[in-house]
Structure 1
């Protein structure tokens, strides 16, 4: 199973989000979350499915984005280089990273075939290319030609970005936590200095990317952060450092917004720290244990069905027998992370 979290440079047209998620669902994936932000002028969709389904859904959604989005008229606070700006693939349920890498490269081929240059980043890139470095200067930096040292992995036959759809970054990565802290009582310059203090690239906390943003429509100040490889890092440590930095500058954090799905690790680790929980292991999460139970029960029922079809021989129509063979599973199922069974 793979998760994909494509980001689109359109956050003000609800019809666009409906159309793009409809196209994804036609490919058999499940859309878990879809949100849009007017100030960022950006939509983020979280979807899951088998690798081939996720690949098809991303290419189908890219086709919609290319047709509907014109970056020449796009203005938002979030950095962007493309109509479908980033398309990360994340392996789930002990799927190996190599599967996500192979899917990312096939998605890159599919988007390049639509005429949009593609950069590979993260684990999908042989250089483990950094997303912030690839997006430096935004669409405008690529419009008249690719800067020295930033030629795309797949040019789509172009010497510059697509004139309206720009370029796309396709990657493979572990789970990432994308969150925004809404802040009041801190000046833009002070919040920008805090973002520099926190982010890894400036000597801050490992795995943290941070930007200070001012949202004109809502009038809010926002510390926008990503925590990479969130399963192996402690979000609570990052939050406490950010909150202390805001407080030392005379302000306060008034809200936290998580983009997309909320990782179990965020809730579990924060609760464990604040409540001083004993034995706060992911295997004790009820949701994880129930998911494992349902997966094993479903596999057992499916094996029984396939076995019955096989014993019926010619009494079962050929198309039913072929379908049963395609559904046949190994006798064991890999547990989900945190499920000791």
Structure 2
């Protein structure tokens, strides 16, 4: 019996915390609360913490949830993500899916992608309770904006950034969620989102009929989507102003072009099927890089001349004025000049 009372007290405290957060949001004249502003260039990517993995739990078929604990952790708001530095040195990005009010831990979840680039496999096979991991962030490129109503579309693991958004919305704000997946067993947090508003949640097993499911979206509604690239492209085709969260780079192909490395006095050719990073490292092998997806910012370089086709998911508009992430971004013309 004492154990049951303890569980009830903990659950009650969590509920009170969520209600308190909602009351603060509802009382704010700036509902929803604005996303944390991006710190000045370089700071969010250099800040790192060592956190302890205190829980590792399989929450759906092929999906593992990690709880990372520390003390007085930087705050975050719904939509934010962390960079996890894995034991091998790989850097991968995962949406925060826990409670923003909890300053002692971060919670992330990742799906195993057997034919991926190795990050998810490393999380599933090597990360264990009691291990320390380096994390960077949090950063928010998917903030919850002010709107009269909301429509969320999530595919599989794409529910992770959406879940904290749903929890933060005041009770009187209209919203609905379309949650798609292969089957319920493979869909993390499906019961959690149904508890938040079963009449507002549509769970789809298999391919969704988006035209039917998204019919009647009211004017002024904010549409959010996170999931497989095909799903996001389909939603964006129907709603061009949709807010998207992607953790895979856009296609890296394009026309060939030249890159001059001004300080090194070298001119390189970037072929249509390669990247600036690959060409630079062939000449300057000590050039720093990490994620190769345009998320972590390690390979950021200053651009002296030329127009950039920015394909990253990290830099602010101000940063894009004179720099680029050379792992994914390319030239819009025939030539770029970098301060290297």
Same fold (TM over 0.5): no
- Provide the TM-score with structure 1 as the length reference: 0.26
The structure whose residues are more often helix, as a share, is: 1
The structure whose residues are more often strand, as a share, is: 2
